[in-house]
Structure formats: structure tokens, C-alpha cells
Amino acid sequence: MLHANTPVRKPGAQMGSHSVRPVAERQQAGRELRKQIPRSLHGNWTSPANRADPVQILIETGRDRIADLLPIRYDRMRQSAFAFLRGAAAIMAADLAPGPFSGLTVQACGDCHLANFGTFASPEGTPVFDINDFDETLPAPFEWDIKRLAASVAVDGRSRGLTDKACRSLARAAVHGYRAYMAALTRMDPLGAWRSRVDAVDALEGIEDAKLRDRELKRLQMANEASRAGYVKLLERRKGEWRIKEKPPLIHLLTGKRDSTHEVAARTAFHSYRASLPEERRVLLDRYRLTDVAFKVVGVGSVGTFCAIGLFVSGDGDPLLLQLKEASHSVLAHYVGPGAYANQGQRVVIGQRMIQATPDIFLGWTDDHGDDRHCYVRQLKDPRVAMVGSTLADGALPYYAVLCGQVLARAHARSGDAAMILGYMGSGHAFDAAIAQFAMEYADQTDRDWRLFVEAINSGQIEAHSP
């Protein structure tokens, strides 16, 4: 049994260290692990008597964030149990750490819930469906990601008013999708498995409901075409030049403000980020110049961290928006060790490159030795394309749950040993049932934690208000 203060990844352990052995041998090695940690153990969740106060965990994790933004974060988290779960990665990490450990490590997402999957354009402009958040990524047990995904499915289902039977079925569907796709990847050669990805059009074609399928395919086409038109809602022309639109309190311009501390920090970070790019990407970036910077509030879990957008413009006025995002220590670090990278921005970038099938070509990290704030940089995601995935979840949640499970399997197979993971899970439904049981029990826990959180707001222990 793994304890909360015990690093999961032992010194010298390597992800995928058995990958040069034949598939059959590695699969058998995975089966042998069941003798040490039976799959049924993963179905157990009981709140221990000494469990840390979830509200206090949130307060502690907020100490390093921008204090003025914390009420916005908390307001977003109180909207539903699922919204709370999205911002409660630190709470769940503390709950998962003492649990059973399969012995199989992957480059984990670290915050694997339904809302952290989505549609976005690949570097070639093709819409793909993949994991799209890596702030908490670290090498960790593969089951932590699948447990958080299954729990998020159950919590989201309850938030929509579904029965517990339906929610359990959804959680099992997500795990089955993971296990079935891991089996398919195991049958591939290493290069084929590495190159595999989920094309968004192909994903939507799999929806059985013809009306929903046609609607979503049309919306995806329209969103993809609109994204090629640029950042219409975020930019405006002022004196013949592109500028970022100010939308207080979520977007604040930093350029030319009297207190230029944040502007200088953002510009310095964008400048230092260039060095992390491969040389050919620097050549591309140098065809643009930074003209405008703004502070931008994003997400739920990220609210309170330093996030900025930089407007880069070519000599002919072509705009490019890059997002600068602060990278703190992963919520998993206390339980699995800090990882190989002291620079937290580099940790996020390397993790994303490991997990994601088609990483952003502008992905990089800052390395300003005069500032202890670590950041990473990526292209600003187009919400019109990303929205297709989120609205799909409303109309076809069972299909969406399976799809997320498949994508997670593909992500884990890139860094972990797919054959050993498959061998451990098996060809039957024992693993699916165990994780679904955990998901339902943890959904109960999440509901209790959310209610405590709302009570803390109502009592004035913590402040929450909309922007």
C-alpha cells in the first residue's frame, strides 16, 4: 500500500523500461502485478479519519496565487460539484496518494477530467481531439488519471441530473474505452502507436445519432473556418494597428500602463521564451514582433496564476496571439517527487510533448534567471473550435466518455508500457467495475466536499464573487 509521504516513482525507475521485451512477456509481467495489488483494491474509497480538510487544502494552494483573483476562482468552483472538482486537483491528489499503486508509471496528465479534453487545430490546421491541459503533469501511476477521469464522468453526470445507475455506466464506459484502445495500441508497432491520434472529424463520425452527428460536424466545419479568420473577438484596429481588446476584469491591457511591473515581466518572459524553441521555430517567431501584452483570467483551476497574452504582428500586419501561463509545482509533486525539471514551465512543456499527439509548434518555456516565476508559452486556443468538444458532451455524454478514455490510453501509451498496463487490467471487466465503483464513491466524497466549500463561502471563511 502506498502512503502519502512515499514517492511513487522510485529512484532510477524509468517509464516504459520493459519496452524492448516482446509484447507477450510484458503483458504477462502486467498480469503478475495483480498478485501484489489485486484490481479490486482500486474500487475502494473510504474517507480516512485523518483526512485533511478540503477547504484548507484550497486555501493553502491559493497562497501563491494572485489574491485579488481568488474570489473569481472560488465563485466558478461553487457553481456545481463538477465545477468544484475541476478546481480541486490538489484535494484529489492527496486522496489518491495513499491508495493502491499498480507499479506502472506513465507521464500522467495530473488533472484528468472531462473538461480538460477538447478539440483544437493541429499544426497542419486539421482539427484533432486530445487532452488540452498539462499544468499538473508528472510521471505518476497510470491509474490516478483514469480514476480522476471516471470520477469526473460520474460527478458531471450527477450534475446533469442523471441517476446513479446511469453515472456508473458512464464511468465504466470511459474505463472500457481506455482498456479497449490500450489493447489496440498494444497490437501496433511502436512507431504506429506513437503516431496514432484522434481526428476530430473521424471522432464525430462515430456518433450514432444522425441528427446530432450532422449538427456537430457542421459546427466543427464552421468553427474551423472561422478560426482561420483570426482573433476577431480579441483584437481591434486602433490607429491602423492591431491591438488587444480590453475586457475588464478578465482582460486587462498591460501595454503603456503607469505601473509597468507586469508589462515588463510579461515582455521579459516572452523574450526569454524564445531560447527554449528549436532553431527553426525561432526563425518563424522572428517573423513577428511583440506589439501588445495583456493580463487574462483563464479557466477554473488556473484562476489566480499569472496569465498573459502577447500580440505578435508580422511586417504585413498578420497577427499571432501567444499565451503566457505561470507554471507552479504540480499537485502530484508532494507524492511522486518533483520530477526531472527544476523549471516548472519546462516540466509542463516536456510533459505536453510526451502526452499530446500534435503539440503546438510554438510551445516553449521561459528561463529568466532574475525571476522565480516559471511560465510556459503556447498559441492561444481558439474557443470556437474548443467549444465543439464541450457541447458534444451535452448531447452525447456516453460517447464522449468513451472517447476521452481512448484518448487517455493513447496518451499513456506514449510514455508507459501499453502491454504491461493492458496485462494488469486484463481482457475482462474486473478493472472497469473497480474503477467505476471508485468513481461513484468518490462522487459522493466530491459532493460532500463541495457542500463544505459552499458553507465556507456562506460563512465568510472564504470570499467568492463573480467578475
Q: What is the pTM of this model?
A: 0.91
Alpha-carbon distance 351 to 347, whole Å? Answer: 6
pLDDT greater at residue 252 or residue 232: 252
Helix (H) or strand (E) holding 230: none
What do you get for the CA distance between the two ends of the chain, in Å?
A: 44
Mean confidence (pLDDT) of the chain: 88
Task: Provide the pLDDT confidence category of residue 289 given band limits of 50, 70 and 90.
Answer: very high
Band (pLDDT 50/70/90 cuts) for residue 397 is confident
Q: Residue 318 has which C-alpha cell?
A: 498578420
Domain boundaries, the chain: 23-226+383-458, 229-379
The cell for 447 is 459532493
pLDDT band at 206, cuts 50/70/90? confident
Q: Are 168 and 154 in contact (CB under 8 A)?
A: yes
Q: List pLDDT tens digits, range 111-167.
A: 999 999 988 877 777 788 899 899 999 999 999 999 999 999 999 999 999 999 999
Strand partners of residue 379: 322
- In the sheet with 288-296, reading across from the earlier edge strand, the strands are 251-253, 288-296, 307-314, 319-326, 375-379, 364-365
Per-residue confidence (pLDDT) for residue 122, from 0 to 100: 79
What does the alpha-carbon distance between residue 110 and residue 423 come to, in Å, rounded to a whole number? Answer: 23
Pairing of strands 117-121, 127-131: antiparallel
13-26 mean pLDDT: 72
Calculate the alpha carbon distances from 110 to 34, 93, 138, 183, 438 in Å: 24, 8, 7, 23, 17
For the chain, percent of residues with pLDDT exceeding 90: 65
Q: Determine the average pLDDT of the residues in 351-359.
A: 93
Residue 383 and residue 231: Cα distance in Å, rounded?
Answer: 10
Residues 79, 159 contacting (CB under 8 angstroms): no
Comparison of pLDDT for 31 and 304, the residue scoring more: 31
Under 8 Å between Cβ of 269 and 366: yes
Q: What is the mean pLDDT of residues 434-456?
A: 98
- Which range, of 20-34, 93-107, 209-223, averages the lowest pLDDT? 209-223
Relative to beta strand 364-365, strand 375-379 is antiparallel
Count of beta carbons in the 10 Å neighbourhood of residue 162:
16
